[in-house]
Amino acid sequence: MSSSLNRSGQSASRAASTHILTGCFVLSVTFAWTIFGSFTPSVHALQSQSVAQGVYTDEQARRGQAIYKDRCSSCHGETLGGRLGPPLTGDDFIGSWNKQPLSELVSKIRSTMPQDDPGKLTGQQTADIVAYILQVGKFPAGRADLGPDEAVLKQITWPAGNLGPPKPATATTQAPFFPPAGNLAQVMRGILFPSSNIIFTAQTVDPGAPRPSPQAAATSDGFNWIVWGGGIYSGWELIDYAAVALAESAPLMLTPGRRCENGKPVPVGDADWLKFTEELAEAGRAAYKASQTRNQEAVSEISSQVSDACLNCHQVYRDKRGRAIDPSDPSNKAARCVK
């Protein structure tokens, strides 16, 4: 009797153990599926894609078309062919954006458009507009909507081997040469210095804040570089223009025949001079990109790159106080433009 009970007890024990282990296995599998399954969409979402693989839906493009007609068509045309603003389709448009992730185009639209009322579009509305732009550009639709998540948008690129920026037409005659009208110091003080200061102002003044009236902003000293266009352009537009001025005018430092204030030729063939010129142009491009985010902190941070680009050149070619030729001239202008 006891032996029989013992065997029965062992069988019951083994069955209970098997049941418990089976339950643990099911729970483990369920737990693992829950954990890994919950991450699956994010993993797939962060995989690199191309706009040629279908990153929007036809329904989303229809929503985007309605928003576009209401908010964008007056500037960019009913068919995206351009009007007051540039076209949003065609080779030139694709060539301008195909080196950047789709997040850059979405950010540009959301932060700066419409130009007369920027920052009012939601993230999803912006994504819907981009879906419509892609549809007009003959990029295929897919099964899921394009979302506003920046991390995902950064993983979406244009097709490899897509069109690049248009090549300039071959000139049949030699381009005209424009001799320098001023010396290097005049170019610095007339373009680079005020443009840099407008960008530096974003460290303490929010370009998106309400502007004072031109009368209230006027100073007893007369013209104010910081508010020069305050009655015409928005604060963010002024940052845009200052950044473009830096990037576009940096090559003026390489104009053949230009002289320094002291009469010495600008060392346009010097390797360091070429490097510092490119640094300044790149700082201008970076400042413009930061300004397009319409984020004061982003511009404030990038202003250090502008400052460093100026400082690097000044330390080598301008600031020579320890070797002053004329002790009465602490800035040592006589030694400028020479390393």
DSSP sequence for 152-191: HHTTEEPPTT---SPPPPPPSSPPPP---SS-HHHHIIII
In a domain, 78, yes or no: yes
Same structural domain for residues 223 and 153?
A: no
Confidence check: pLDDT of 39 > 60: no
Confidence check: pLDDT of 22 > 60: no
Q: Which domain holds residue 90?
A: 50-157
In a domain, 178, yes or no: no
Same structural domain for residues 54 and 142?
A: yes
Same structural domain for residues 228 and 322?
A: yes
In a domain, 17, yes or no: no
Cβ neighbours around 157 below 10 Å, total? 19
Mean pLDDT, range 106-110, rounded to an integer: 95
pLDDT of residue 43: 35
CATH of the domain at 66: 1.10.760.10
Confidence check: pLDDT of 51 > 80: yes
In a domain, 16, yes or no: no
- pLDDT, one tens digit per residue, over 227-254 is 666 668 888 999 999 999 999 999 999 9
Q: Which amino acid, residue 301?
A: E
Confidence check: pLDDT of 53 > 50: yes
Number of domains in the chain: 2
Same structural domain for residues 222 and 270?
A: yes
Confidence check: pLDDT of 291 > 50: yes
Tell me the pLDDT band of 27, cut-offs 50, 70 and 90: very low
Same structural domain for residues 150 and 191?
A: no
Residue after which a domain boundary falls, among 111, 142, 157: 157
**Which among 254, 319, 315, 316 is positioned nearest to 281, based on CA atoms?**
254
In a domain, 265, yes or no: yes
- pLDDT, one tens digit per residue, over 265-282 is 999 999 999 999 999 999
How far apart CA 178 and CA 121 sit, in angstroms, is 44
Say what the pTM is.
0.73
- Averaged confidence pLDDT in the chain: 81
Same structural domain for residues 192 and 292?
A: yes
Alpha helices of 113-149 — where are they, by DSSP H? Answer: 123-136
Tell me the pLDDT band of 1, cut-offs 50, 70 and 90: very low
pLDDT of residue 108: 94
In a domain, 44, yes or no: no
Same structural domain for residues 235 and 321?
A: yes
pLDDT of residue 9: 46
Same structural domain for residues 195 and 308?
A: yes
Tell me the pLDDT band of 338, cut-offs 50, 70 and 90: confident
Mean pLDDT, range 1-28, rounded to an integer: 41
pLDDT of residue 176: 84
Same structural domain for residues 193 and 277?
A: yes
Residue after which a domain boundary falls, among 140, 157, 174: 157
pLDDT of residue 116: 86
Tell me the pLDDT band of 172, cut-offs 50, 70 and 90: low
pLDDT of residue 112: 94
Could you list the beta-strand ranges (E) of the chain. Answer: 49-50, 156-157
Q: What is the DSSP letter of 250?
A: G
pLDDT of residue 209: 86
Confidence check: pLDDT of 222 > 80: no
Please answer whether residues 141 and 57 qualify as being in contact, where contact means their C-beta atoms are separated by less than 8 angstroms: yes
Same structural domain for residues 235 and 327?
A: yes
Long-range contacts of 298-305 (CB under 8 A, 24+ apart): 299/199, 299/202, 299/207, 299/239, 300/202, 300/203, 302/199, 303/199, 303/200, 303/202, 303/203
Confidence check: pLDDT of 174 > 80: no
- pLDDT, one tens digit per residue, over 110-153 is 999 998 889 899 999 999 999 999 999 999 999 999 999 999 99
Q: Which amino acid, residue 115?
A: Q
User: Is pLDDT larger for residue 313 or for residue 230?
Assistant: 313
Q: Which residues contact 204 (CB under 8 A, 6 or more apart)?
A: none
Mean pLDDT, range 279-297, rounded to an integer: 97
Instruction: Please name the residue that has the structure tokens 């069955």.
Output: 15
pLDDT of residue 46: 64
Confidence check: pLDDT of 52 > 60: yes
pLDDT of residue 333: 77
pLDDT of residue 44: 44
Same structural domain for residues 202 and 149?
A: no
In a domain, 152, yes or no: yes
Same structural domain for residues 136 and 196?
A: no
How far apart CA 257 and CA 179 sit, in angstroms, is 7
Percentage of the residues of the chain whose pLDDT score is greater than 90: 59
In a domain, 62, yes or no: yes
The total number of residues shown for the chain amounts to 339
- pLDDT, one tens digit per residue, over 65-85 is 999 999 999 999 999 999 989
